[in-house]
């Protein structure tokens, strides 16, 4: 039996941890974690006992903060969650739901949210199973946290609504039983702490950034394989040339590409200057690298943040309850929109390279559409059509979400970041980008079958060998949807070759 990976709540949370949360994970909380959770809860109990107003514990929510909440704290949990049952659309992917709950667990374990220890324990137990709350995609504006999706998650943990176990959707009460979990008991503070943060936005952005970065690295290697198969002169990667460009990302990318192309020799039959989709690739992908570094920084900050309200800061003598707006996900909104721009341009580059590869006027005389028998066969024709449709879809949906602020909640939320929409879209587009890179990889494998020279660079040869071992030539025509995905998997695995 495979031992599940471990996530330590006392250590920094990483995008790799969120990827691992697709399956059961062992989440550990040491004594220091438990002590700080208990300390913030003791502070909450003390201020409530002293009659101090605490948002969500003694008050209504949002624009109704000026009204008293329910006197019984168990009833206050219902008061918090019932009105948030207004989400729409399809469920988010169960993997993303689990990643979201891991982010929320880590945040609550920092000991400034005032939650009761059983809440953290219940989340840890849930993550050790295949349970995933059913969370609606539509309903959050990314301000005051991801209220409606997280509200559905909290209800599922109570046995209300729906959830998934082993990927199967069912009533949440049945899912808890099947997973061996007890329904979670909440008071008002527990309920608000579960929903009043940007954990869905953060999880979606982190997963999207990780996947776009993988595709970005893949396109670097596929560009090198394309240049090698066609016999392009690699001078467009000259170290002196790139150094004069003065952008760190381009310097880094060109270095990676020079290593991958090491050993390649020009054919002498190509034009003096290649089309921009080859010649300007290090500049384009370098700019993407610079942008991705910014996104990586936002992801790291958000994974280490507590996006809750209010926060509790215990002291030896008492402590402070501080109300504010850490749930306002503007950094993630901006970063997700930047990620969308990167996805669109990297995808556009890969699609244009595929277009060059199937065109006999530019591919060195290879058959049109790389068909083994043009007319009788059609090679990459269907794959190129799909790749063009994919990049058109990405580009059509690239309008920034972070500038679409609309007031809501009686103008309590009079500006909103729409980070949730931006991050979910970026995650969707990362999946489309992967299909485009898989399409290009499949084209390169077919190009070798219909007449390109063999790669001169050992690194490029290893990539082509891996593709040839995984995918049969397109000869004769066949449905290629699966081959595109296999090609994407294969080249991603090639990233381990050490470029």
Question: Any idea which residues carry the catalytic annotation?
Answer: 55
Strands 26-28 and 132-133: unpaired
Distances (CA, A) of 108 to 102, 212, 373, 461: 10, 28, 62, 49
H helical segments located in 72-231: 73-82, 94-108, 117-127, 147-157, 172-179, 188-195, 199-230
Distance CA 458, CA 308 (A): 52
Distance CA 255, CA 131 (A): 44
Residue 373 phi/psi, 5-degree rounding, is -140, 85
Q: Which residues, at least 6 apart from 84, have a Cβ–Cβ distance to it below 8 Å?
A: 147, 148, 151, 152, 195
Exposed / middle / buried, residue 408 (Cβ in 10 Å: 0-12, 13-18, 19+): middle
Distance CA 191, CA 76 (A): 8
Distance CA 396, CA 111 (A): 43
Distance CA 125, CA 202 (A): 22
Count of Cβ atoms closer than 10 Å to residue 377 Cβ: 17
């Amino acid at each position: 039996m495979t031992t599940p990976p471990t996530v330590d709540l006392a250590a920094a949370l990483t995008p790799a941890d969120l990827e691992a949360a697709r399956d059961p994970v062992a989440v550990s909380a040491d004594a220091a974690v438990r002590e700080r959770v208990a300390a913030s809860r003791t502070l909450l109990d003390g201020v409530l006992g002293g009659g101090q107003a605490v948002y969500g514990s003694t008050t209504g929510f949002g624009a109704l903060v000026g009204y008293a909440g329910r006197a019984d704290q168990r009833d206050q949990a219902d008061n918090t969650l019932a009105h948030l049952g207004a989400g729409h659309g399809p469920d988010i992917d169960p993997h993303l739901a689990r990643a979201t709950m891991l982010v929320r667990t880590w945040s609550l374990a920092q000991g400034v949210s005032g939650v009761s220890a059983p809440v953290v324990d219940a989340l840890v137990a849930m993550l050790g199973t295949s349970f995933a709350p059913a969370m609606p995609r539509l309903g959050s504006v990314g301000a005051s946290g991801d209220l409606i999706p997280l509200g559905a998650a909290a209800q599922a943990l109570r046995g209300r609504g729906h959830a998934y176990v082993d990927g199967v959707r069912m009533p949440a009460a049945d899912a808890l039983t099947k997973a061996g979990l007890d329904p979670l008991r909440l008071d008002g503070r527990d309920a608000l702490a579960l929903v009043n943060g940007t954990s869905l936005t953060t999880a979606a952005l982190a997963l999207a950034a990780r996947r776009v970065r993988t595709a970005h690295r893949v396109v670097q290697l596929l560009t090198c394989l394309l240049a090698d198969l066609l016999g392009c002169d690699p001078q467009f990667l000259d170290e002196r040339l790139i150094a004069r460009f003065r952008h760190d990302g381009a310097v880094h990318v060109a270095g990676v590409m020079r290593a991958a192309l090491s050993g390649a020799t020009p054919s002498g039959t190509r034009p003096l200057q290649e089309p921009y989709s080859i010649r300007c690739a290090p500049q384009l992908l370098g700019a993407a690298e610079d942008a991705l570094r910014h996104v990586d920084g936002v992801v790291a900050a958000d994974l280490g943040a507590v996006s809750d309200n209010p926060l509790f800061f215990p002291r030896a003598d008492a402590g402070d309850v501080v109300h504010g707006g850490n749930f306002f996900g503007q950094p993630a909104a901006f970063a997700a929109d930047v990620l969308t721009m990167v996805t669109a341009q990297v995808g556009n580059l890969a699609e244009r390279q595929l277009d060059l590869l199937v065109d006999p006027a530019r591919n060195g005389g290879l058959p049109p559409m790389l068909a083994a028998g043009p007319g009788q066969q059609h090679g990459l024709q269907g794959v190129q059509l799909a790749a063009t449709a994919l990049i058109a879809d990405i580009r059509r949906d690239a309008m920034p979400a972070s500038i679409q602020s609309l007031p809501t909640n009686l103008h309590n939320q009079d500006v909103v970041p729409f980070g949730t929409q931006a991050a979910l879209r970026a995650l969707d587009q990362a999946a489309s980008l992967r299909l485009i890179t898989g399409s290009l990889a499949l084209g390169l494998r077919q190009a070798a079958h219909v007449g390109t020279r063999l790669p001169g660079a050992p690194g490029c040869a290893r990539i082509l060998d891996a593709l040839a071992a995984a995918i049969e030539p397109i000869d004769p025509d066949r449905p290629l949807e699966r081959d595109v995905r296999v090609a994407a998997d294969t080249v991603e695995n090639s990233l381990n070759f050490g470029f």
